[in-house]
Each structure stands twice: as structure tokens, then as C-alpha cells.
């Protein structure tokens, strides 16, 4: 496949608009057996998670492994991880959009979708963690802006609204296309689809004014969403950093969390790229070049993250102040040391080394590396939340055994896995309803490439002409043959 692509191009230039459209829309038309089985499995996991959550609701948070010392556990770690993934959408989409990176076209939709779903479930995690979810309205009735948790609520809601709009805006022309194409094709839930596409297309006809408006709104959203995204993970870190606890009481926590979020989020985008490229046969669009470039992005972000890790651990480790020192001892050589060093070497340093080499940035290698990063980022969140809680200033003395240790129990695992499969369900449903590439942007990209190609060829041609013109006097006979040949071909 890659051979047919024009060298250095982002999108195969010779692809016609029609092919691109059909390639994008085709997967939304069939609900294969495998999709049904996949969805069925996910629903079972999600159902089990829901059962575990209902169990927790009925009997209280005492059903989890959390106790007075470790009062935040897997739920909050997962919350931080999910919110972290949500940074991918903004990064790939908005930052690459603002820097006019044309190669982003086929992957923006995937990235934006990741943001949307991970925020959706990331936002649910703290609610699952609440002792009194029935009193959630108190956040509105008695809300205090002084509380970091309130900042979280506000910024996550803002970011969720923003990223939903950001996902939907570039979908409008595609929705119009899906709406118009729907009558021709045979698909399930036709009526529902028709209704959905019509609603989402909000009367898009593709007129000049509409394009102009879309472009304007997209520009505004692109600019607005970046600071919102940065703020979200910064304030997520503040729920920890605003305490006096060793390990959390850190001024680097804001950027540390943002870097960690970008690192894990961009890795998740690559994972999604690998999956959809394979499943939806998008090899023509998402090429080795995309993986190479995204690999470089992840490499750069991992380096930043590694640098912040150094700041976060090396500075206190050099000083070994009392309380901080106890925590660091536990992380470096104590009960959490295996997980800690596996995270640092296995999911930060190792990926950096591998991704430095071009062969480390092929889809296969990146899929492996990014899976490592995703798991590592999740474990790292856990290592940020739990060990600190086990190292308070005052010693843990004469308390029940289960207070002084923590490992998530079946309820927490079930609920968390349920949330994870919820994410996958939403992604699957989305991918079965909507095109996974921003069709009009890819078409636009293809046109840009075509123009580039024509321009280069023209340039080459002109050069040739010039050369010919120079040599015409010397070799008249050759020139004649060319003309004859050309005529003959016609």
C-alpha cells in the first residue's frame, strides 16, 4: 500500500474525493458479528461494574478497601488517569491545528473522541467515590469556590462542554454527508440514523457562508480549548498539591500533572490509531509517516514528563526531609519500589530509548510502547495517590490492620473496569455511527497534497522545459521525436 503513496505525502494524493468519503463511511454501515460480540462482552463487564457500584451504594464505601488512612484509592487514581487521557484530543487536534500541521487531518477525530469519552467517565469517577452521592446537589446549593474540588468541578464541566463542541464542530459537514448518503445505502437503525445525522448536521448545506462560519468558530474553539485543557489537569493536581501532605505538597505538581496527562493521552491516541487503522482499513490514510510523527510527539512529551519526574523526586530525595524522606524511602526501596522503578524505567526511560530510533516508531512498536505508557501512567497515578496517604506526619499506631495498608478490592476493580468498558462502549458506538476520520478535512488535505504534487511536477516540468529549450538548438531531432511520441500516445 505504502508504495502507491506519493513520497513525503500525508494523504495519498491520487485518492478521489469519492474514495475518501466511501472509505470513511463504509465501516459505519455494517454491524458485523464481531461488533456484536465485542459490544456484548463490554456490556457484560459494564453490567458487572454497575452491579458492584449498586452494591457499594447499598452498603456504603466500607465495601471498598479504602479506610481512614487511605481515604482515596483506585477511584481517584483512575479519575486522574482518565482526565489525563483527555488531554490527547486537545493536544493533537488543537495544537496541531494551530501550528497548521497538515498531517493531523486523518487523526483529529480519533483524538477528539478520546477526549470526549475519557472526560465523560473521568468526571464520573469522583462521583462514584463520594460517600453521599445523594447529596451531590449540595455542590450547587452550598458550593464554595475556595475548595480545589470545586475548581475541578467547574473546569471539568467547562472542558467537557468545550471538547464536546470541539468534537462536534468538525463533524457538521460529515454529518450532512452521512445524512445525504444514508438514503442510498442499506444500514441498520435507518430512521434513527437519519434523525441523528439531521439533528447533528443542523441544516448544513455547504454554502460559502457556512464554511466561513465553521472556520471562524473552529479557530475560536481551538484557541479557547488549549488553556481550558491545561487548567483542567492543573486543578486536578491541586486537590493534592493544596494539602500539606508529604509527596503532594509540591509546587511542581501542576505542570507535572499536565505533562503526565499529555504523555499518557498522546500514547492513547496512538493506540486508538493502531486499532482503527487495522479495523477500518485506513492504512491509506493513517500511514507510517503519521506514526513516525506521532511517535516523535510522544517522545517529546515523554522527555518532558521524565524531566518533571526528575524534579518531583530528585529534589526532595537530595534533601530527604523527615516526613518526605519516609515516603521516598518507601517508594525507592520499600513496599512500592518495584512498581515505582518499573514505572520510571519501564514506562518512561525505555520508551524514550526505543522511540529515539526510527524503527521504534513503526505502528507495531508504537502499539507496544504506548500500551506500556498507558499502563505505566495509570500505575503512576496510583503511586501518587496511595503511598502519600500511608505516610502521614503522625505515625500510624495501633489501628486495625486494614487501615494501614491498601489494595483495591473486588468492588473497586469491578467498578473501575466497568468504567473502562463504558469508555470502550461509547467509542465503539461512536465508531459505528459516525465516520472516524474528519472526511472534509481529509479531502481538503488530499487536495492540498494534489496541489503540492501538481506544483512540484509543474516545477519539474518547467525545469525540464527550460533544459529542453536550452538544448533544443543542439539536438533538434530529439525534440521532434518527443512530439511525435506524444502525438502517438494520444
- Residues found near another protein in the complex (CB under 8 A): 59-64, 66-69, 71-72, 126, 129-133, 135-136, 138-139, 141-144, 146-150, 153, 239-240, 242-245, 322-323, 326, 389-405
Least separation in angstroms between CB 261 and another protein = 20
Query: DSSP H helical segments within 86-189, as ranges?
Result: 87-89, 96-98, 108-129, 138-141, 148-168, 171-182
- CB of residue 150 vs another protein: minimum separation in angstroms? 5
Our CB check for another protein shows the closer of 83 and 172 to be 83
CA neighbours closer than 13 Å in the CB half-sphere of residue 98: 13
Q: List the one residue out of 404, 381, 414 whose CA is nearest residue 66.
A: 404
User: What three-state secondary structure class fits 422?
Assistant: helix
What's the closest the beta carbon of residue 71 comes to another protein, in angstroms? 4
Q: How far apart are CA 6 and CA 16, in angstroms?
A: 14
Residue 164: CB minimum distance to another protein, A: 24
Q: Which is nearer to another protein, 23 or 129 (CB)?
A: 129
| Pick 66 or 171: Cβ nearer another protein | 66
Which residue from 154, 310, 169, 144 is spatially nearest to 232, judged by alpha carbons?
Answer: 154
Nearer of residues 186 and 398 to another protein, judged by Cβ: 398
Smallest separation (angstroms) from another protein to the CB of 77? 13
Minimum CB distance to another protein smaller for 40 or for 395: 395
> Grid coordinates 481529509 are at which residue?
442
CA angle 200, 204, 210 (to 5 degrees): 125
Closer by beta carbon to another protein, 99 or else 397: 397
Neighbours of 353 (CB within 10 A): 12
- The dihedral over CA atoms of 432, 434, 438, 444, expressed in degrees to the nearest 10, equals 110
Q: Minimum Å distance from CB 124 to another protein?
A: 14
User: Cα(240)–Cα(228) distance, rounded to whole angstroms?
Assistant: 19
Amino acid at each position: 500500500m505504502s508504495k502507491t503513496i506519493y513520497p513525503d505525502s500525508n494523504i495519498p494524493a491520487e485518492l478521489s474525493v469519492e474514495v475518501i468519503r466511501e472509505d470513511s463511511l463504509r465501516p459505519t454501515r455494517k454491524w458485523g458479528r464481531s461488533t456484536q460480540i465485542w459490544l456484548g462482552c463490554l456490556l457484560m463487564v459494564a453490567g458487572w461494574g454497575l452491579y458492584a457500584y449498586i452494591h457499594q451504594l447499598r452498603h456504603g464505601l466500607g465495601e471498598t478497601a479504602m479506610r481512614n488512612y487511605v481515604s482515596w484509592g483506585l477511584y481517584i487514581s483512575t479519575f486522574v488517569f482518565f482526565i489525563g487521557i483527555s488531554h490527547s484530543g486537545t493536544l493533537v487536534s488543537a495544537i496541531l491545528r494551530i501550528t497548521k500541521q497538515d498531517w493531523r487531518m486523518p487523526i483529529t477525530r480519533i483524538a477528539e473522541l478520546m477526549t470526549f469519552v475519557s472526560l465523560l467517565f473521568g468526571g464520573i469517577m469522583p462521583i462514584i467515590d463520594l460517600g453521599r452521592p445523594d447529596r451531590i446537589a449540595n455542590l450547587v446549593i452550598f458550593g464554595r469556590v475556595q475548595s480545589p474540588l470545586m475548581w475541578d468541578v467547574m473546569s471539568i464541566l467547562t472542558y467537557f462542554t468545550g471538547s464536546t463542541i470541539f468534537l462536534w464542530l468538525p463533524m457538521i459537514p460529515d454529518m450532512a454527508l452521512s445524512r445525504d448518503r444514508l438514503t442510498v445505502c442499506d444500514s441498520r437503525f435507518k430512521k434513527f440514523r437519519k434523525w441523528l445525522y439531521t439533528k447533528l448536521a443542523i441544516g448544513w448545506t455547504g454554502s460559502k457562508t457556512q464554511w466561513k462560519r465553521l472556520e471562524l468558530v473552529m479557530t475560536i474553539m481551538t484557541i479557547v480549548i488549549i488553556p481550558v485543557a491545561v487548567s483542567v489537569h492543573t486543578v486536578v493536581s491541586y486537590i493534592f498539591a493544596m494539602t500539606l501532605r508529604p509527596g503532594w505538597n509540591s509546587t511542581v505538581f501542576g505542570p507535572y500533572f499536565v505533562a503526565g496527562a499529555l504523555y499518557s493521552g498522546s500514547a492513547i491516541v496512538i493506540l486508538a490509531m493502531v486499532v482503527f487503522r487495522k479495523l477500518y482499513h485506513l492504512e491509506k490514510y493513517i500511514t507510517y509517516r503519521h506514526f513516525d510523527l506521532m511517535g516523535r510527539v510522544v517522545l517529546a512529551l515523554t522527555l518532558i514528563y521524565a524531566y518533571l519526574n526528575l524534579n518531583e523526586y530528585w529534589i526532595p530525595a537530595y534533601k530527604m526531609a523527615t516526613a518526605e524522606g519516609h515516603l521516598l524511602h518507601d517508594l525507592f526501596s520499600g513496599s512500592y519500589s518495584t512498581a515505582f522503578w518499573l514505572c520510571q524505567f519501564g514506562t518512561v526511560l525505555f520508551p524514550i530509548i526505543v522511540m529515539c530510533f526510527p524503527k521504534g516508531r513503526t505502528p507495531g512498536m508504537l502499539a507496544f510502547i504506548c500500551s506500556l505508557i498507558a499502563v505505566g501512567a495509570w500505575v503512576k497515578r496510583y503511586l501518587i495517590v496511595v503511598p502519600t496517604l500511608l505516610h502521614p506526619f503522625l505515625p500510624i499506631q495501633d489501628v486495625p490492620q486494614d487501615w494501614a495498608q491498601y489494595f483495591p478490592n473486588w468492588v473497586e476493580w469491578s467498578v473501575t473496569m466497568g468504567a473502562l468498558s463504558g469508555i470502550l462502549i461509547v467509542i465503539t458506538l461512536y465508531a459505528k455511527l459516525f465516520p472516524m476520520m474528519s472526511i472534509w478535512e481529509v479531502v481538503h488535505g488530499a487536495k492540498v497534497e494534489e496541489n503540492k504534487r501538481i506544483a512540484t511536477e509543474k516545477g519539474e516540468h518547467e525545469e525540464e522545459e527550460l533544459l529542453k529549450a536550452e538544448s533544443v538548438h543542439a539536438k533538434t531531432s530529439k525534440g521532434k521525436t518527443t512530439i511525435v511520441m506524444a502525438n502517438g500516445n494520444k
